[in-house]
Structures are given as structure tokens and as C-alpha cells.
């Protein structure tokens, strides 16, 4: 009899996992359980047990941040309460002090995260200026026995990390010191050198139908550059020259002088109404 609660819990976990993969309606039909029960079991899943479910949680959270709890509920076919439970657990892990910024009794919408994002990015412009900065990404501790860390870096942190990476005589050692995989650093480096302020920059940002994660990197850069321009525009005599020089400074990783595309410059000035 003592094994019965454990067996029941294990069965519920299996049903919840099936529902995450195949959908709640199919799980209800297959195991003859109610949607409310399945949703409750999903909310208690130990997502870190399998990478697949951790990824599913991350995707649900990202949808909630973009679409709000109601939109995420419709998109994934699970209740708003389950969505809110995942968000609450996520924030309590990555930034416990920010829990009070989100009202979990009301509907969560993208604006619910505005203050949280502003606080986390309030030093972004300072870092983009090229000042010395040691990246300190937020970290999520996974299974203790694996001691693996998942890190998310801001655009400013990526640029500064790449600067340190390319300046180091031993790039493998630099990657270890930064605690960032060398393949990531090389990918960021190539993006900065080959796409920043080039035709790809325009394509990703100003010609994209949707402003999402794919162009966040370029949007962060241009917003920072526009912020700098608004701060100094009264003292700028040649706007075009000043903007190009500042853009080159942001994109500079080594002794090479970055090329600034005229196509990007025109789109940037048009978008931010700089005449």
C-alpha cells in the first residue's frame, strides 16, 4: 500500500508528459481523465528531468511574454492559471526580487514585463558605448549532478564579450574565462562583422514583417544609437558623418575600421525621422 501514492504520482507525470507532447485533448481521450486534472499535473511537472520539457516550458514562457497569458493560453491550449504558474516559477528562479512587479491575479500582458525589462536593461546604453564590462548573465541552475548553466545575454553583453574574445591571444582560453562557448562567440563575431550596419541589418530590421527575436540584436543597436543621437543632436553639425562615425565605433571589434552601409544609414534616418 505504501507504494500506491508513488505509483499514482508517476502515472500522473506520464500523462502530463504525454499531454505536453500530444496535446491535452488527446491525453484526456487516451487516459480518460479531465482537462483540469491534466493541466494540474502539467503544472507540477519537473521540467528539468528532460530537456524536451524544459524547452517546452521556455517556449510557453516566451509566448506569454509576446502575446500575454490569454494569447499563450489560446496558442498552447492550456489554462491561464497554468501559464501564470509557469511564469511565477520562472521569475522566482531567475530574479526572485522581481516577482512583485507582475500581478498574477490579473491577466498577464506584454506590458506586465515592461518595468522588469527596463530594470534589467537600464545600463544597456552605457555598455554599448564600449566601456569595460564583465558580462553577468542571469543564470538558471539545472540538475545538480550536471551543474549546467543556461545563460541569456543582452546585446550589449554580446558585443563586449566578442571584443574581449577577439583581443585575447588564446581565444579558446578567452571563451573559458567568459564562460561562453567559443562557437557562440564566433557566431556573434561574424554577425557583427558581416551584418551589422550592412544590407542584412536593413533586411532583418527595416524590411521584416514581424519584429521578433530574429531582429532584436539589430533593434537594440539602432535604439541605442538613436538614443545617443537625441542626447547630442544639438551639438552635432554634420548629422550623417556623426552617425556613421558612432556606428563604426559601436561595430569596432579590433583594429579594422568597420564599413557602414549607405543603405542602412538612409533607413535608419528615415525610421527615426532624422533630416
Residue 186: CB partners within 8 Å, gap ≥ 6? none
> Is residue 32 pLDDT above 60, yes or no?
yes
> Is residue 143 pLDDT above 60, yes or no?
no
Q: What is the pLDDT of residue 138?
A: 47
Between these two residues, 141 and 110, which has the higher pLDDT value?
A: 110
Q: How many CB atoms lie within 10 A of CB 251?
A: 21
Render pLDDT for 211-228 as a digit per residue (tens, 0 to 9).
545 578 899 999 999 999
Between these two residues, 38 and 188, which has the higher pLDDT value?
A: 188
Q: What is the pLDDT of residue 100?
A: 47
Q: What is the pLDDT of residue 117?
A: 46
Among residues of the chain, what percentage have pLDDT more than 90? Answer: 25
Render pLDDT for 87-99 as a digit per residue (tens, 0 to 9).
776 665 444 444 4
Q: What is the pLDDT of residue 70?
A: 83
Q: Given pLDDT bands bounded at 50, 70 and 90, which one contains residue 27?
A: confident
| Interatomic CA distance for residues 65 and 42, integer angstroms | 20
Span 116-140, average pLDDT: 46
Span 86-113, average pLDDT: 54
Average pLDDT of the chain to the nearest whole number: 75
Q: What is the pLDDT of residue 60?
A: 80
Q: Residue written as cell 522566482?
A: 92
Q: What is the Cα 227 distance to its own chain's centre?
A: 22
> Is residue 142 pLDDT above 50, yes or no?
no
Which of these, 78, 138, 88, lies nearest to 108 by C-alpha position? 88
Which of these, 259, 197, 193, 258, lies nearest to 225 by C-alpha position? 197
Burial degree of 264 (CB within 10 A; 0-12, 13-18, 19+): buried
> Is residue 12 pLDDT above 50, yes or no?
yes
Instruction: Name the most confidently modeled range: 5-19, 28-42, 44-58, 97-111.
Output: 28-42
Amino acid at each position: 500500500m505504501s507504494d500506491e501514492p508513488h505509483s499514482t504520482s508517476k502515472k500522473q507525470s506520464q500523462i502530463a508528459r504525454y499531454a505536453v507532447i500530444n496535446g491535452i485533448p488527446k491525453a484526456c481521450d487516451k487516459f480518460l481523465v479531465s482537462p483540469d486534472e491534466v493541466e494540474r499535473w502539467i503544472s507540477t511537472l519537473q521540467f528539468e528531468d528532460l530537456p524536451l520539457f524544459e524547452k517546452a516550458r521556455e517556449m510557453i514562457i516566451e509566448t506569454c511574454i509576446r502575446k500575454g497569458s490569454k494569447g499563450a493560453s489560446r496558442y498552447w491550449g492550456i489554462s491561464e492559471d497554468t501559464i501564470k504558474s509557469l511564469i511565477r516559477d520562472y521569475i522566482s528562479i531567475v530574479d526572485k526580487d522581481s516577482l512583485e512587479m507582475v500581478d498574477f491575479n490579473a491577466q498577464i500582458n506584454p506590458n506586465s514585463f515592461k518595468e522588469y525589462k527596463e530594470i534589467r536593461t537600464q545600463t544597456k546604453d552605457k555598455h554599448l558605448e564600449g566601456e569595460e564590462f564583465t558580462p553577468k548573465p542571469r543564470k538558471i541552475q539545472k540538475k545538480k549532478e550536471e551543474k549546467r548553466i543556461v545563460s541569456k545575454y543582452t546585446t550589449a553583453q554580446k558585443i563586449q564579450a566578442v571584443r574581449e574574445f577577439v583581443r585575447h591571444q588564446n581565444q579558446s582560453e578567452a571563451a573559458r574565462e567568459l564562460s561562453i562557448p567559443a562557437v557562440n562567440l564566433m557566431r556573434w563575431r561574424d554577425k557583427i562583422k558581416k551584418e551589422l550596419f550592412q544590407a542584412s541589418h536593413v533586411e532583418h530590421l527595416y524590411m521584416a514583417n514581424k519584429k521578433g527575436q530574429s531582429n532584436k540584436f539589430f533593434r537594440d543597436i539602432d535604439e541605442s544609437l538613436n538614443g545617443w543621437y537625441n542626447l547630442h543632436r544639438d551639438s552635432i553639425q554634420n548629422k550623417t558623418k556623426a552617425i556613421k562615425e558612432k556606428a563604426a565605433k559601436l561595430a569596432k571589434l579590433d583594429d579594422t575600421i568597420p564599413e557602414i552601409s549607405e543603405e542602412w544609414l538612409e533607413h535608419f534616418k528615415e525610421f527615426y525621422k532624422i533630416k
